[in-house]
Amino acid sequence: MKPANNIWIQKEQCPCGDWKCFIKYEGEEQGQACQPTKNGTSLSSSSEVIFAPYVGQIFKSYDEAFEFYSNFARRNGFSIRKARSTESHNLGVYRRDFVCYRSGFNQPRKKVNVEHPRDRKSVRCGCDAKLYLTKEIVNCVTQWYVSQFSNVHNHELLEDDQVRLLPAYRKIQEADQERIILLSKAGFPVNRIIKILELKKGVQPGQLPFIEKDIRNFLRTCKKTVQENDALLTEKRVTDMMELLEACKAMAERDGDFIFDFLTDANGKVENIAWSYGDSVRAFNLFGDAVQFDITYQSITYGMLLGLLSGIDNHGKPIVFACALVQEENPHAIVWALQTVVRFMRGRPQTIVTDLEPGLRDSIVSELPNTKHVISLWYIMSKLSSWFSLPLGLKYSEFKSEFEMVCYVESTEDFGHLWSHLITKFGLGSDKHISLLWSCRACWAFSFIKDCFVARITTAEYMRSVDSFLKGVLNEQTCLQVFFEQVGLAAKLGYGAKEDLPFLHLKTCMPVEEHAQGILTPYAFSVYQHELVLSVQYAIIEMAKGSYVACHYKKVDEEYLLLWIQEGEQIHCSCKGFEQSGVLCRHALRLFITKNYFQLPYHYFPIRWRWENSFLPMDQESSRLVKEEYYRALHSLTDALLTESLFSKERFNYAHKELTALLDQVKNMPVDEVPEILTNNFSES
């Protein structure tokens, strides 16, 4: 029953602590085994029309015929079973009989010597409904045809909500089998397992495709197998952990900067292990101001929890700092993992971003008292549907919109007032998830964390990239040693793999844009450029004592207060964009432009976002200058082409056709190093 390979899943237990509450992740199949009908009953996932069999109907195999007849029977309120088969020496089995489940009569059983024998009533009543198949060979091809068919029953047919309870249709899918075994091993009784599966699949009570009796029979049948497999898996886990430890020792011998640590249990077996790389430590010195600690993935094969310490470099790429594997999900193990990976870094981050894990909150407070703990709003928004879509129903979309608005309120007083109004409006005062969010509001609400530097690791873009990385290395074929190698490879690729960085041309022709382009990396410059382009939509109104107000020209945005300090050329905006990301916001940029700045003060270009603070070689700068020359030449040509093509429809159609073909051809060309070019070559063309 247990898989041989190491399989990782995202933890589904809700951080609210309720054993009945599970989180559904995006893209997860939900309730595929059962689909509610208009009457609240369930049918199979197939909604196609099943026609009645007829004499002479041809099937490629008897299995195909049995499936067809079984689907027909389910739609008509009964089930079928295989009866006799007839075979010959030449043809083998040449006849198959399928009959109604109530066909025939039970033969009286021999009495056993027990004090109170059970008197079971038979369901068989001599029903004559049947389908007989006969094999024939036509043009050397074997096929089966219906030789007899009868749909006359001598008993009542069942309704949709009853037919699904027939033994023939009560199937426990493989995914459900795995979850049942895990829950049973965790000590959950069968009635609670039923409730958990109903919540997981999102079906009404009693609408699963199997019943409590089936679970009991399944657990009884596989009990011995589970015990045997548990012993094998325990041995496999010990072996794999020893292999991982040996791989760490071998890596430490090859690379003096590699570092690892581990804990053993009372029997001397490896219990927890963590490791990091020399490049990771050096990267932490550059980009360890804001980090993420992810413990959302768990191995269902070994029961181990993965802790990943990561961050973002100045090119916007996820960067791995350290990994930890712990045997049990408990506060002691989490504290050890956090202590160890931070010790590897030889420093403390300004900010650490995590999920909604109560154990993590307590660990960070005790182990990193001077580090600000931030819970990413992306994590919270991904859980809202699981928490509130069912109780709120059609009101959920409205709630989600208002919830997100409340999250970004600037004042803590306004946040408290709007939060109370929100939960009162939607009647969520007693909801356990609302209580959980309120208890940790200081870690996720904007009004509490607006001064925290997070280096853009709370954006949905970064979160998705980390999730994609984890899913890439945590595949079903990954044993612990292979996982170790994959993480090491991914870490090296993140530390300075030379890649063709995107070219970003100037959009505003403002001196402050050109100045920033030569300082910031393309990723940071793209964020800066986006804010600069939007800055022209704001008006700056001067107030008293060096204060200003930034107003959007269409009033689609709220007003923002800016404070100008002449000494040190400092601007403080109420949106706290620079404090959070290290890139100036559109409101501050607008004020600098209003004050006729052609170059911004260098303290508004943090070291972590500059070219000079990069693992990538600085010769990328020469490549950028060449690409700028390319851009100007092509931009001039396209401007002329656009002007000439708009004189007539014939010109437009021709230009459109040729450009489409040219674009496809260019996309298919290999990408080589940018060659040296001469500007006069372009001027001649």
Confidence of residue 44 (pLDDT cuts 50, 70, 90): very low
Q: What is the pLDDT of residues 256-268, one digit of tens each?
A: 889 999 998 888 8
Residue 571 is predicted with a pLDDT of 94
Confidence of residue 477 (pLDDT cuts 50, 70, 90): low
Segment 63-83 mean pLDDT: 89
Residue 476 is predicted with a pLDDT of 60
Q: Helices 460-473 and 377-392: crossing angle, nearest 10°?
A: 90
Residues 6+ apart with CB under 8 A from 108: none
**On the CB side of 276, how many CA atoms lie within 13 Å of its CA?**
25
| pLDDT of residue 604 exceeding 90 | yes
Backbone angles phi and psi of 80, in degrees to 5:
-130, 165
Residue 229 is predicted with a pLDDT of 60
Residue 625 is predicted with a pLDDT of 56
Helices H / strands E in the chain, number of each: 22, 19
Where is pLDDT greater, at 199 or 643? 643
Q: What is the pLDDT of residues 284-327, one digit of tens each?
A: 988 999 999 988 888 867 778 899 999 998 888 888 999 999 98
Residue 417 is predicted with a pLDDT of 95
The distance of Cα 325 from the centroid of its chain, to the nearest Å, equals: 20
Task: Give the range among 121-125, 334-338, 538-542 with minimum mean pLDDT.
Answer: 121-125
| pLDDT of residue 487 exceeding 70 | yes
Residue 674 is predicted with a pLDDT of 44
Pairing of the two strands 560-565 and 259-264? unpaired
Which of 170-173's residues contact partners 24+ apart within 8 Å by CB, and which partners?
Answer: 170/209, 170/210, 170/211, 170/214, 171/33, 171/209, 171/210, 172/209, 172/210, 172/214, 172/215, 172/218, 173/33, 173/209
Task: Give the range among 25-34, 634-643, 651-660 with minimum mean pLDDT.
Answer: 25-34
Residue 570 is predicted with a pLDDT of 92
| pLDDT of residue 622 exceeding 80 | no
Segment 603-608 mean pLDDT: 93
CA–CA separation, 73 and 82 (whole Å): 13
| pLDDT of residue 34 exceeding 80 | no
Distances (CA, A) of 409 to 414, 417, 441, 558: 7, 10, 12, 11
Distances (CA, A) of 575 to 397, 549, 557: 26, 12, 12
Confidence of residue 669 (pLDDT cuts 50, 70, 90): confident
Rg (CA), the chain: 34
Residue 215 is predicted with a pLDDT of 86
Confidence of residue 33 (pLDDT cuts 50, 70, 90): very low
Segment 27-51 mean pLDDT: 43
Q: What is the pLDDT of residues 247-257, one digit of tens each?
A: 999 999 998 88
As beta bridge partners, residue 35 has 43
Residue 232 is predicted with a pLDDT of 67
Task: Give the range among 165-174, 183-192, 365-374 with minimum mean pLDDT.
Answer: 183-192
| pLDDT of residue 513 exceeding 70 | yes
Please tell me whether residue 497 adopts helix, strand or coil conformation: coil
| Cβ atoms of 264 and 271 closer than 8 Å | yes
What the block records as the tokens of 657 is 């056709």
Where is pLDDT greater, at 176 or 1? 176
Segment 179-201 mean pLDDT: 78
Confidence of residue 468 (pLDDT cuts 50, 70, 90): confident
Confidence of residue 586 (pLDDT cuts 50, 70, 90): very high
CATH 2.60.40 fits 255-375+453-497, yes or no: no
CA–CA separation, 384 and 386 (whole Å): 6
Q: Which helix (H) or strand (E) holds 461?
A: helix 460-473
The distance of Cα 327 from the centroid of its chain, to the nearest Å, equals: 23
b/e string for 654-680 if b means 16 or more Cβ within 10 A?
Answer: eeeeeeeeeeeeeeeeeeeebeeeeee
Distances (CA, A) of 460 to 25, 388, 400, 467: 15, 21, 17, 10
Pairing of the two strands 560-565 and 92-100? unpaired
Confidence of residue 351 (pLDDT cuts 50, 70, 90): very high
| pLDDT of residue 121 exceeding 90 | no
Residue 189 is predicted with a pLDDT of 80
**Quick one: CA dihedral 387, 391, 396, 398, positive or negative?**
negative
| pLDDT of residue 65 exceeding 50 | yes
Burial of 137: CB neighbours in 10 Å, binned 0-12, 13-18, 19+: exposed
Average pLDDT across the chain, whole number: 82
Q: What is the pLDDT of residues 380-398, one digit of tens each?
A: 998 898 899 888 989 999 9
Residue 223 is predicted with a pLDDT of 65
Confidence of residue 550 (pLDDT cuts 50, 70, 90): very high
Confidence of residue 27 (pLDDT cuts 50, 70, 90): very low
Where is pLDDT greater, at 32 or 209? 209
Q: What is the pLDDT of residues 495-508, one digit of tens each?
A: 544 455 566 778 88
| pLDDT of residue 63 exceeding 60 | yes
Percent residues over pLDDT 90 in the chain: 32
Confidence of residue 38 (pLDDT cuts 50, 70, 90): very low
Backbone angles phi and psi of 64, in degrees to 5:
-65, -40
Q: What is the pLDDT of residues 75-117, one digit of tens each?
A: 888 989 888 888 887 778 889 999 998 888 877 666 556 565 6
What the block records as the tokens of 486 is 């994959």
Q: What is the pLDDT of residues 315-325, one digit of tens each?
A: 888 889 999 99
| pLDDT of residue 595 exceeding 90 | yes
- The full set of domain ranges for the chain reads 57-104+122-164, 172-237, 255-375+453-497, 377-443, 511-609, 620-663
Q: What is the pLDDT of residues 165-178, one digit of tens each?
A: 788 888 887 778 87
Residue 140 is predicted with a pLDDT of 82
Q: Angle at the Cα of 29 (from 28 to 34), degrees rounded to 5?
A: 155
| pLDDT of residue 43 exceeding 50 | no
- CB atoms under 10 Å from CB of 100, counted, come to 26
Residue 493 is predicted with a pLDDT of 63
Distances (CA, A) of 166 to 40, 247, 513, 560: 18, 53, 72, 66
Quick one: which of 393, 399, 285 has its CA closest to 348? Answer: 285
